[in-house]
Amino acid sequence: MDRLAAMHTFVKVIETGSFSAAARQLRVGQPSISKTVAQLEQRLGVSLLLRSSRSLSTTEAGQIFYERAKLTIAEADEAELAARGAGAALHGRLRVSAAVTLTRLKIAPKLGRFLAQHPKLEIELILDDRDVDLVGEGIDVALRMGALKDSTLTARKISDVRRRVVGTPVYFADSGVPLRPHDLDQHEAIIYTQRGGGVTWTFVKDANEENVSLNGRIRSTAAEAVREAVLANLGLAVVSDCMLGDELKSGAVREVLADWRLPSIDIWAVFPTGRRASAKARAFAEFVQLELTGAAA
């Protein structure tokens, strides 16, 4: 039995959810898939799958084997790329974890260019403003904003983006315009509660520094909700240029306290701990870095 091919078959079964779907993608008969999995289980001496007439899931041993098999396949692909040289084409599936708004506004519209450069590559976007377990979710690269909490992560800073206090002209016409940071105490704020957000901010102007805690009845773990609440004239918010940059340019939202500076927010490419970042993950990080550097300029 070709162990690497068997691993690839098993991984495909898990990712597609069935023997028949895996057989279609691998262009083999379903009996061949069943035989390969059975041989794997016999070789390992454990059951890898729980089967029923309607569903298929991994056993505990099967989940461990699936995660390890994916790593082994990725490392084998890396070895081939290294042997072929820098001109070798990237291929396979790239799983990317990122925040919803950052991806929707700044990355997804540009993916066509990246895919055109790598026609044998597929991209799967796993979008969530909260951090996910990179190894457990089989993520190749994650894009994260703000200070990284886990110092063991393999990370590369790819950009930094300015923060601003913004609101709509309608909101400021109704509620007044803050002239200095402490005036924000009197305003309704839309608060983003994930990393890179929060209620406490330090504003700096020349040698002056003011610490402010925002007040607001709307708080969200999703930047999309913050965007929509601001655009609905429900309050002001501290946001990055990635969140409402286009609306600032169009005049749909207005910046206030522009002569006071807030700390910029870092954007990182984060790779699974314990193994070298794959060539396709590194290529994607470099692509995003170029796009965000241009967008943030």
Q: How far apart are CA 163 and CA 244, in angstroms?
A: 10
Same domain? 169 vs 226? yes
- Residue 271 sits in a domain whose CATH number is 3.40.190.10
The model carries a pTM of 0.68
Same domain? 100 vs 78? no
Same domain? 292 vs 201? no
Which of 35, 55, 84 is the endpoint of a domain? 84
Which of 50, 69, 84 is the endpoint of a domain? 84
Tens of pLDDT along the chain (297 residues) come to: 688 888 889 988 888 888 888 898 888 998 999 999 999 899 899 999 988 767 788 999 988 988 888 878 777 776 666 665 554 567 788 999 999 999 999 999 999 999 998 998 999 999 988 888 887 777 889 999 887 776 667 888 988 889 999 999 999 999 999 999 999 999 999 999 988 888 999 999 998 999 999 999 999 999 999 999 999 999 999 999 888 988 999 999 999 999 999 989 999 999 877 556 778 898 999 999 998 886 443
Domain assignment of residue 80, given as a range: 1-84
Same domain? 274 vs 205? no
Q: How far apart are CA 134 and CA 143, in angstroms?
A: 11
Q: How far apart are CA 19 and CA 30, in angstroms?
A: 6
Same domain? 143 vs 274? yes
Q: Are 145 and 266 in contact (CB under 8 A)?
A: yes
- Residue 6 sits in a domain whose CATH number is 1.10.10.10
Number of domains in the chain: 3
Same domain? 274 vs 259? no
